[in-house]
Amino acid sequence: MRVLILLAAFALSGTAHAGGIERLKAFIAGAKTAEADFSQTVSDKSGRVTQQASGKMAFARPGKFRWDYTQPYEQVIVGDGVKLWLYDLDLDQVTVKPLGEVVAGTPAALLAGDDAIEKYFSLKNAGERGGLEWLEAIPKNRDTTFERIRMGFKGDVLVQMEMFDYFGQRTILKLSRFSRNPDIAASRFMFTPPKGADLIGD
């Protein structure tokens, strides 16, 4: 899988001086669907940029999401609530896996999962940096891709996420043109493998 599977949050309600934890809980309580454009940058442990990508995403809580990568190559990632589908257009290849195995301990579970957020993550406010107010989430299950996840808020909006994995890589996800609670057709979170595509997995 050439691109890390990520999810992000969008416009969040809350008081002007609420901490990151309060903002996240407000999101979980109030944002049932969302859409946004995103840009993604991955750096290795020495800080060298190894991957850049961009596209559009959407989700519907709990457990349904879609990422359409448009640059530098086309890729579609769909979570239909039961399975995760990854379609690589260049390879004409579809990979399918049980959703729970893939998203546990990731931003997908953190932001598009159920309401029992602190069952799976240890949360703490992480102060201010770069004009943003930060929250840090550490997965309680260590058998995950990410060691820790940071979310940066500006006002009542989550505009940036940082994901750190156990190999020293850092993934920065920036959001723009987000929309909170838009009407999204259920069909957007369904995926049917294209005729003739190679299918890998269950």
CATH code for residues 20-201 = 2.50.20.10
Tell me the per-residue pLDDT of 59-93, one tens digit each, with 9 for 90 and over: 888 888 899 999 999 999 998 989 999 999 999 99
pLDDT for 94 equals 97
This prediction's pTM: 0.80
pLDDT mean over 37-65 = 93
pLDDT for 21 equals 80
Domain boundaries of the chain, sorted by first residue: 20-201
**DSSP secondary structure string for all residues of 112-172:** HS-S-HHHHEEEEEEEEETTEEEEEEEESSSSSSEEEEEEEEETTEEEEEEEEETTS-EEE
The angle formed by the CA atoms of residues 180, 185 and 187, to the nearest 5 degrees, is 135
Task: Identify the weakest region by mean pLDDT among 65-74, 84-93, 98-107, 186-195.
Answer: 98-107
Q: Are 61 and 32 in contact (CB under 8 A)?
A: yes
- Label residue 168 by pLDDT band (50, 70, 90): very high
pLDDT mean over 102-122 = 68
pLDDT for 101 equals 65
Say which residue, 41 or 179, is predicted with more confidence: 41
pLDDT mean over 115-121 = 70
pLDDT at 178 over 60: yes
- Label residue 12 by pLDDT band (50, 70, 90): very low
pLDDT at 105 over 70: no
